[in-house]
Structure 1
Amino acid sequence: MIRMRTAIATAAAIAVLPFTAACGGQDEVTTKPNPPAASKADKADAKPSKAAPAKPKAAKIGDTITIKGSEDGEQLDVTIKKWIDPAKGADEFFVPADGQRWVAAQFELVNTGTAVYADSPSNGAQVADSEGQRFGTTFADITAGPSMTSDAQVPPGEKALGYVVFEVPDGSKITSVQFAMNSGFADQTAQWSVS
């Protein structure tokens, strides 16, 4: 009797299979149940499983940031050694335009790569103010010290040091300085907080 029931059950299952396949039944098969939808109350009561990661610490004046250039072997350790706001022109001929002031960052660029760093460093520098406005560099000599060269040729293991000057509106509160290799076109950008 048991063998007969098993045979009937098997025959019934075999008869149903072609019908299920023909009707697309295999597409409807679910291997895992969907989790029940959470109600608004459940979502409100849910607590994160772990604490949110801490925001990365912003670099500040004196910190060194390592960045890579676009070509193989291009790498610099970049440090802003000093920040001057406002920066004063070296003589009466070097002055900012009316309604503007100069600010300056003393950059130290150490070639930690395997290729010669050949660029105009000021092309890859900019500052930003608290409103999000960004300002490029200007050519100026200041009393704080020598300007960064406009044609750096720095072999591996050597460094370049000098001021990069920016002309900004008198009322702008400068909050950050950025620097990137390859005249600013490299993928990596270093940023320091100055506020």
Structure 2
Amino acid sequence: MSIRTAALLVAALGLSLTACGTEGGGTTVDVTPQAGSFSSAAESPEGAGAADTPRDEPTTGGSLGPGVSTVGDTISLKGAEDGEKLDVTLVKWLDPAKSADRHTIPSLGKRWVAAQIRLVNTGSATYRDSPPDCVRVADAEGRRYDATVADIAAGSSMATHLKLATGAKAVGWVVAEVPTGAAVTSLQFIPSGGAADETGQWAVRKG
């Protein structure tokens, strides 16, 4: 066998192994922002209106490195039903978040964190969900916390009963209650009330 023939055979084998290794090997947790995602909430075309202007200063922008989604980035996710697909954007992040009134406050030894999320139905089916049920936050110790019902000073809460036609969008805040000393490091969005196979994840930090 000539040296040229052997080299061609080795190259062909390498391509074959590469193709086999990538097929069906994807993860269900997507941390990679879409191409063209907004690098900061200030650049977003869905910036908060007058009623949603935060009174506290939210964390915005600030890339944490290639392939890591953070505030301002959009992740595309499929729902549990056929034809369900969403573009999910973490528009703003507040840590801590302030209550909208003096009467509703975090429990003793706890604080609120909040995410302003934008959902756009990019699928072929109407999307029905309770978005707060889709949200989880995690701290540096790996503990996870579900969303809670709370109104914050930064703006309007996300609807708890949402129905989005194809092309429609919704924006609102989702709040979670965490221990005062917990270092919250990530936020997850799992469509269909947490029942979908795909999960979007954003890195966050205290602002």
Gaps of 5+ in 2: 1-64
Bigger-Rg structure (1/2): 1
Query: What is the rounded CA distance, in whole Å, between the counterparts of 1:120 and 1:56 in structure 2?
Result: 31
Query: What is the rounded CA distance, in whole Å, between the counterparts of 1:164 and 1:112 in structure 2?
Result: 21
**Which secondary structure does the structure 2 equivalent of 1:109 belong to?**
strand
- In the other structure, the counterpart of 1:18 is none
Correspondence for 2:163 among 153, 172, 194: 153
Query: What is the rounded CA distance, in whole Å, between the counterparts of 1:84 and 1:56 in structure 2?
Result: 23
1:76-95 paired onto structure 2 within 5 Å: 76-95=86-105
- In the other structure, the counterpart of 1:58 is 68
Query: What is the rounded CA distance, in whole Å, between the counterparts of 1:151 and 1:96 in structure 2?
Result: 24
- In the other structure, the counterpart of 2:173 is 163
- In the other structure, the counterpart of 1:45 is none
How far the C-alpha of 1:56 sits from its partner, in A, is: 6.5
1:176 aligns with 2:186: yes
- In the other structure, the counterpart of 1:48 is none
Query: What is the rounded CA distance, in whole Å, between the counterparts of 1:166 and 1:132 in structure 2?
Result: 15
- In the other structure, the counterpart of 1:128 is 138
Correspondence for 2:150 among 124, 140, 159: 140
**Aligned AA (1:170):** T
Correspondence for 1:74 among 84, 96, 100: 84
1:103 aligns with 2:113: yes
How far the C-alpha of 1:154 sits from its partner, in A, is: 0.7
Query: What is the rounded CA distance, in whole Å, between the counterparts of 1:130 and 1:172 in structure 2?
Result: 7
TM-score, L = length of structure 2 = 0.67
Deviation per residue, 1:111-159 (Å, 9 max, x gap): 0001111010010100000000000011000000000000000110010
Q: 1:120 to 1:132 in 2, by over 3 A?
A: same
**Which secondary structure does the structure 2 equivalent of 1:122 belong to?**
helix
**Aligned AA (1:95):** I
1:26-41 paired onto structure 2 within 5 Å: none
Deviant stretches of 4+, over 6 Å: none
Gaps of 5+ in 1: 1-54
Percent pairwise identity: 54
Root mean square deviation of aligned Cα: 1.1
TM-score, L = length of structure 1 = 0.71
Query: What is the rounded CA distance, in whole Å, between the counterparts of 2:104 and 2:84 in structure 1?
Result: 34
How far the C-alpha of 1:60 sits from its partner, in A, is: 0.7
Query: What is the rounded CA distance, in whole Å, between the counterparts of 1:82 and 1:166 in structure 2?
Result: 14
